[in-house]
Amino acid sequence: MIHFFIFLPVLASLLIFLVPVRWREEFAGAAAGLTLAGGLWSWSVGGLSAYRIDWIPALGVTYSVQMDGVSLLLGIVTAFMTLIAVIYAGKRIPNPGTMLSLILMMETGLLGIYAARDLVLFYVFFEDALIPALLMLAIYGKTHRMAALIKFAAYTLFGSLLMLISIIALKYYGGSPTFALSDLQANPVTGPVQTWLFLGFLAAMAVKLPLFPLHAWLPDFHAQNHDSGVADVMGTLYKVGAYGLFRFSVVLFPDAMLELRPILMGLAAFTALYAAWIAFSQSDWKRLLAYAGLSHMGLVGLGIFSLNETAMIGGLFLLAFQNVYTGALFLAAGMLQERVGSLSTKVGGVMTQAGVLSGMTMTLWFASIAVPGLAGFIGEFSILLGAYQISPWLAFLAGLSTIAAAAYALTAYQTTYWQVRPAGAVLVHDLRDLDWLILGAPLAVAIFFGVYSGPALALVQPVVRAWMSGLGGGL
């Protein structure tokens, strides 16, 4: 079943071009729906057990995969938001076959990242997810897309190169027979070498967290992608750096992470506050959402770097559900652009003509700024609670970002959806047909897991506790 869950999307991405054009949207939707159904079934049976075979025995590379609680939660969220992206792409993008294929191809890369239990396999999926992301930007992006593409590729490939060097060196210096995580754990690297290898691995993860100062690719990536927001949903899902740090760095580089904890927590807290401050000055919805997402990732990083159980659980919870409401907000921005022809935060008066779109967007923003009763609150509160036990001042600094988030979100919302519609402006029609599902389903998820977080926490908590106990509890 685990292979079906991982590889069904990429198989569908190839077969879609054999399907008659008029049925491609339905075919892609069916493939994405089956993948989500596979994830939900896996949840119902308690996850997917480990599977391992030798892949390239001469090099010590294995095909080792598993879907435990954390991987499964992130995988289900990825499958869910991919389905939403497929539905909206079919509705919004003319002749969407290529976009649908790229979405499904990227989904397999992301699911593979969460399933991989071999570092080389993780690296392969990590790079595989990059290719469709670049192609979406190159094919469907806006005027300055090539500059954004080059910046995105340069940051990612530079970090990936350092990660690959660290992966190879980890096996060499530790004497592990393979690159499988279990073997690398059994043959640890210690001392200064561990610190240097961690820094190499951190470079790639900091790009994909992202973390200041390796975040510069993010605003242009979102601003230059297709106005619909579909590619931005997939880009939001590609923020896998925090997961990589949790899954691999915590157990392979524990001493280095503990040694560098104050610096990394400080960097994460600064990222959260810095991004929130910059978001306040944005007048384009996509750039504002890019910096809002960066601020959230700073909080996620704070949770992971704190090496505190409560904060780490909160960080992974926030990582999962910010993909839902941030992705939906990108789609809401796309719907706004479709109706008024602009992504400006100054269009004014949209609520007077599109009340449902405005109301759903506002509620999604409430999730983003961590209003109690919505999914964002659970993660952010847990992060700050846990981080406070390690560094009260850094927790306070990061906590200021939640206040700033309310300021930038509600200010931009006011100048877009409230105030007075300019004289002579186009009529804004409200949600139609599938628009209700596209925004309503993520909103329902944000509300459900904000009120009843138990099912998601039940997936995350046992894995985090096992990971922390494996470190001897001293962290």
Lowest mean pLDDT among 29-38, 209-218, 400-409, 426-435: 426-435
pLDDT at 222 over 70: yes
| 69-94 pLDDT per residue, tens | 899 999 999 999 999 999 999 888 88
Mean pLDDT of 241-255: 91
Q: What is the mean pLDDT of the chain?
A: 90
What Cα–Cα distance (Å) separates residue 101 from each residue in 10, 91, 107, 125, 133? 8, 15, 10, 17, 11
Output the pLDDT for position 75: 94
Output the pLDDT for position 50: 87
474 band by pLDDT with thresholds 50, 70 and 90:
very low
Comparison of pLDDT for 420 and 372, the residue scoring more: 372
Lowest mean pLDDT among 128-142, 150-164, 341-355: 341-355
Task: Tell me the pTM.
Answer: 0.93
pLDDT at 473 over 50: no
| 320-377 pLDDT per residue, tens | 999 999 999 999 999 998 888 888 888 888 888 888 999 999 999 999 998 999 999 9
Output the pLDDT for position 244: 93
Percent of the chain with pLDDT over 70: 98
475 band by pLDDT with thresholds 50, 70 and 90:
very low
| 191-204 pLDDT per residue, tens | 899 999 999 999 99
pLDDT at 423 over 70: no
Output the pLDDT for position 472: 46
pLDDT at 425 over 80: no
